[in-house]
Amino acid sequence: MATERLRINNEITARELRVIGAQGENLGVISLADALAAARQAGLDLIEISPSAVPPVAKIVDYGRFEYERSKKEKAVKAKVKVSETKEIQIKVGTGENDMQLKAKKAAEWLAEGHRVRAELFLKGRYKGMNEEFLKDRLEKFIALIPYAHKIAEPIAKSPKGYAGVIERDLAAQQKREKIPTEK
């Protein structure tokens, strides 16, 4: 789980180290031999925590416990990372107003969760030959129906299936929207 292998005990190559004791006290800058002796006396390991510092920083701790704590921190950080996906909503030229409202609500839910939404106007057969401005306008009207504050991530453009545009949430605009009703 650990991202990098730390040097411990005899693997350390620096001549002098800034050493932190077992209870967190600063032992100062001492030679490698003295630091190893202090670690052996305490019955613990000498771990080089910051090899790039001048002089390198080492700590006297139990290596197993140190690795366990480090892996716990990494797991906690990993758990907090939220993966954002691009969700897709597809409408057609003949999609009714009520269906468009339902799809706009679903898109708003996805935006609230932090996902990007790709709105696509699906064209088949004779619809592909329709006026380009009409088709873009149809997709823009659908995007305008979405009740959650959003901004255009990718403008509406021709796609293999018709026309598509990508939107993502606009947190600043959403916070302004939420403040307005509470001030009344």
Q: At what angle do helices 132-145 and 97-113 cross, to 10 degrees?
A: 60
Which CATH number applies to 86-183: 3.40.50.300, 3.30.110.10, 3.40.50.1820, 2.40.160.20?
A: 3.30.110.10
pLDDT grade for 4, boundaries at 50, 70 and 90: low
| Contact between residue 49 and residue 6 where contact means Cβ atoms under 8 Å apart | yes
CA of residue 45 relative to chain centroid, distance:
35
Identify the pLDDT of residue 91: 92
Identify the pLDDT of residue 181: 59
Taking the C-alpha atoms of residue 23 and residue 115, their distance in angstroms, rounded to an integer, is 46
Per mean pLDDT, which range of 8-12, 132-136, 142-146, 156-160 is the poorest? 8-12
116-147 tens-digit pLDDT: 999 999 998 888 888 889 999 999 999 999 88
Spell out the domain ranges in the chain: 9-79, 86-183
Identify the pLDDT of residue 127: 85
Amino acid at 50: S
Identify the pLDDT of residue 79: 80
Mean pLDDT across 91-110: 92
45-74 tens-digit pLDDT: 888 888 888 888 888 888 888 889 888 988
Nearest Cα to Cα of residue 89 among 146, 131, 174 = 146
Mean pLDDT across 141-154: 89
Mean pLDDT across 102-113: 91
Nearest Cα to Cα of residue 63 among 74, 50, 49 = 49
Mean pLDDT across 103-123: 91
| Contact between residue 162 and residue 135 where contact means Cβ atoms under 8 Å apart | yes
Identify the pLDDT of residue 1: 44
Identify the pLDDT of residue 2: 46
Report whether CATH 3.10.20.80 matches the domain 9-79.
Answer: yes
pLDDT grade for 38, boundaries at 50, 70 and 90: confident
Is 160 buried (19+), middle (13-18) or exposed (0-12) by CB count in 10 A?
A: exposed
- With a cut of 60, say whether residue 169 has pLDDT above it: yes
For residue 140, give the 3-state DSSP assignment. helix
Average predicted confidence (pLDDT) for the chain: 85
